Structure 1
């Protein structure tokens, strides 16, 4: 039987290929958009592309840390388990609770549950201590904190990208790429705004190819 962790939905694979292709296309346009054989120094600077490149780096870091954090958390859950305590309610039903607050709410504050509440709190504290010790050994909290900071940086750059005017087709394409990367795109999705976004990409590519063809034609006439 195949390992379920290694099974990747077709839609996800397709989406990753499409988004990767658009990023590669943007890099190509950035290097030679609307300039034919012109040297790199002649390509106008586009501030939107500069922000997009920084955002992609920050997003890649955030995603890498997210994957690492998830793996470390899974290790903690499998080896230690989420901190919890199991109590028997007045109804006779056993319940596993994952916070001191939940324990208090389940058992109440009555004198008849004082001993049971104290025992449950001690069990929870012991479990929490085991979790914390394992956390320190493998560095889960450090990675999770770094992931949060990287995510905040990526989010800030995404907002900056939206506020930065593009000065080239590559810059416009970069903004569309960011929309696709930050959205759940289904293969062949027909709902708004995916047809419009695909159409915009087609327009950009058509204009780019026509402009490059015009430059090559003019170069051949010289």
Structure 2
């Protein structure tokens, strides 16, 4: 069956590697938090890191799935091109080293055609970008509640690459993140308070903030 993955444009990179896990939740839940955070504190450096991490994370997930599909495609193509001879005939015929060499040659040809190695290298580059952002996050203090939410969002999202996040401390961290998000949403719904209660009181009495009210004798 035709596969359009070989038409995907990939950056030329030289670094290798493989993503530990591709089981991530990219259904938009993080995007909702990102949107809320951007509206509240767009200048917080941790919010900027969250934006950068979200892009790298999305790219890593897409490339992970792509390289897995390409690998399956190559393996299926090799399987259909294998000779029909049984194991006994194979052992009595061509030497094993020659068989392996021929298989590797065909793998390389298919790899060059569909771009599996390029996808894998690009995935490794995206994962490295994620890790660099995590390192920067540890050295970047949050300047607002939105920044704290952004930091926890990155931490929780990065933990998904570890696999099982049902054990301590991940459910507890997710609970803290949900609490902070709820508090942030609640504070956004409150009416704005006067900048200075004294200024507000003075305006009602015909005085200014710099004037003092007369003392009672």
TM superposition score category, shorter chain reference: 0.5 to 0.7
Out of 47, 68, 71, the residue aligned to residue 69 of structure 2 is 71
* RMSD, aligned α-carbons: 3.7
Q: How does 1:129-208 map to 2 (within 5 A)?
A: 129-184=105-160, 189=166, 191-208=167-184
Q: CA deviation at 1:199?
A: 3.7
After TM superposition, the score normalised by the length of structure 1 is 0.62
Mapped partners of 2:171, 2:68: distance in 1: 34
After TM superposition, the score normalised by the length of structure 2 is 0.63
Q: How does 1:30-69 map to 2 (within 5 A)?
A: 30-32=38-40, 45-69=43-67
Paired residues, number: 170
Gaps of 5+ in 1: 1-11, 34-42, 85-92, 97-114
Q: CA deviation at 1:193?
A: 1.9
Mapped partners of 2:155, 2:120: distance in 1: 25
For the Cα contact (< 8 Å) 1:59–1:154, is it kept in 2? yes
Cα distance 1:54–1:22, how it changes in 2: closer, same or farther (>3 A)? closer
Cα distance 1:137–1:29, how it changes in 2: closer, same or farther (>3 A)? closer
Cα distance 1:169–1:126, how it changes in 2: closer, same or farther (>3 A)? same
- Within the alignment, does 1:28 sit opposite 2:36 as a pair? yes
For the Cα contact (< 8 Å) 2:70–2:116, is it kept in 1? yes
Q: CA deviation at 1:145?
A: 1.1
